Structure 1
Amino acid sequence: MAVSQSTAMRFQQSDPDVRLMLRVKEDDAVAYEELVRKYHPRLVRLMRSIGPSPDLAEDLAQETFLRVFRARHRYEPGAKFSTWLFTIAANVGRNAARRLGRRKEVNEVDAPRNQDASHAGLLAASALEASGLMPTRLAEGKERGELVRMAVQSLGERQRTALMLSRFENMSYIEIAEAMDMTTPAVKSLLSRARVNLRELLQPYIDTGVVPDEVRS
């Protein structure tokens, strides 16, 4: 879809990363490296949650940047740069999940998962806050992080993506809607369901200390 000149000018003036991407469009390698340095950690963190396996997060982040580079000459600033970038990232994550899903159907073997304590702790805090639960019975550190990671992974793909964009990237409903090709009311409903599902998944552990089968699976 074509971007109007006024829209392009508005984002160019308001978003320094859009200005960097416009330099990338003109084959400015320094500008591209600056965007990679700024967004690489955020993309890896996102891919650990929305991708099919934390082990693939680095590769999926690199694939996202590669797509950005290949699309540079077609780039038009119709949104914040981060919204455009995470739209690409969401597509990369979905495609990777489909590819891995097809391989699992053939091999019936799950991809291995590595633990990342710092990411798990941050994910735990954000997911618990999103669910509205008070973690009075949850152990600190690795155990809590692993439990909530499993709970988040058990959410549907779209709920998980919306939750991560909201909690980690502080994206608005409108920005998430643009990134996920949804309407704003649909995003609000999706996030509401994600919070309810997280609460239902985590409540039994908080009440009894027993990890539910839905989280283990």
Structure 2
Amino acid sequence: MTRDEDWQRDAELLARWREGDTEAGAELYDRHSATVYRMFRTKVPDQAEELMQQTFLALVEGRDKIREGTSVRAFVLSIARFKLIDQLRSLTKGRAFDAELESVAAVAPGPSTVLAKKREQRLLLEGLRRIPIEHQIALELHYWEGLKANEIAAVFGISHSAMRSRLSKARQLLEQAIVAFAASPEERDSTLGGLEAWAAQVRDLI
């Protein structure tokens, strides 16, 4: 299915769902639940299921607010992003919190590589957790979900050019984190040299 066909299918399902077709709503859930789950699983695993429920409840409540021409995927991922940031903010116990500056590792320290089977996978996951949350989300949507910069921009509500700049900066920060935490030059080079392949493997594990 092409991207245009994918978008059109979502639009058709949304229209049917708004008219009372519960099976159309269930299909929309099936089409997007895995992506939403991955967003939560690598950052707040203990709250992933609850945040999933909150996200799709918000979709149910907001389905009539999705404007014509707006991607259902972008809409639901935008909800998930806000739910995630609110959850991480709650963990700071009232102190100032900035998702563009702080990492998951700083806000919610804990094991992050339990799913990884290979050193490069563990290093990639740890590197992602060490970059600012907003950058981590953008990179995961790119590497794991195959979204292009303009599609990720719609999730964040910023311009295409701004997202291209953010992705470029995010890649630089990820590379720096991988270099800093690699156990050896061989592990570093293997991870950086096959970043997209390692990211695809991690995605399949989640």
Give the TM-score of the pair, scaled to structure 1.
Answer: 0.69
Alignment pair present for 1:88 and 2:79:
yes
Q: Is the 8 A contact 1:177 1:184 kept in 2?
A: yes
Q: Is the 8 A contact 1:159 1:194 kept in 2?
A: yes
The one-character-per-residue Cα deviations of 1:131-172 (angstroms, maximum 9, x if unpaired) are: xxxxxxxxxx24433332121011101111111111112222
Q: Is the 8 A contact 2:51 2:83 kept in 1?
A: yes
Q: 1:168 aligns with which of 135, 144, 152?
A: 144
Alignment pair present for 1:73 and 2:64:
yes
User: What's the secondary structure of 1:15's corresponding residue?
Assistant: helix
Q: Which amino acid aligns with 2:185?
A: D
Whole-Å separation in 2 of the counterparts to 1:73 and 1:60? 21
Give the TM-score of the pair, scaled to structure 2.
Answer: 0.72
Q: Is the 8 A contact 2:18 2:63 kept in 1?
A: yes
Q: 2:52 aligns with which of 61, 66, 69?
A: 61
Shift of 1:39: 1.7
Shift of 1:195: 0.9
- Percent identical among aligned pairs is 25
Shift of 1:13: 9.9
> Paired residue for 1:190?
166
Q: Which amino acid aligns with 2:68?
A: P
Alignment pair present for 1:207 and 2:200:
no
Whole-Å separation in 1 of the counterparts to 2:159 and 2:119? 36
Q: Is the 8 A contact 1:18 1:81 kept in 2?
A: yes
Shift of 1:16: 0.3
Judged with a 3 Å threshold, the aligned counterparts in structure 2 of structure 1 residues 142 and 208 are, in CA distance, closer, same or farther, namely: closer
Shift of 1:85: 1.7
Name stretches of at least 5 consecutive residues in structure 2 with no aligned partner.
97-106, 189-206
Name stretches of at least 5 consecutive residues in structure 1 with no aligned partner.
1-10, 121-140, 211-217
Alignment pair present for 1:33 and 2:11:
no
> Displaced runs of 4+ in structure 1, greater than 4 A?
11-14, 109-116
Shift of 1:68: 0.3
Q: Is the 8 A contact 2:113 2:125 kept in 1?
A: no
> Paired residue for 1:159?
135
Judged with a 3 Å threshold, the aligned counterparts in structure 2 of structure 1 residues 146 and 56 are, in CA distance, closer, same or farther, namely: farther
Judged with a 3 Å threshold, the aligned counterparts in structure 2 of structure 1 residues 14 and 178 are, in CA distance, closer, same or farther, namely: closer
Whole-Å separation in 1 of the counterparts to 2:39 and 2:6? 27
Q: Is the 8 A contact 1:25 1:75 kept in 2?
A: no
Whole-Å separation in 2 of the counterparts to 1:113 and 1:208? 23
Structure number with greater Rg is 1
Whole-Å separation in 2 of the counterparts to 1:110 and 1:85? 24
Judged with a 3 Å threshold, the aligned counterparts in structure 2 of structure 1 residues 187 and 75 are, in CA distance, closer, same or farther, namely: closer
Provide the aligned C-alpha RMSD in A: 3.0
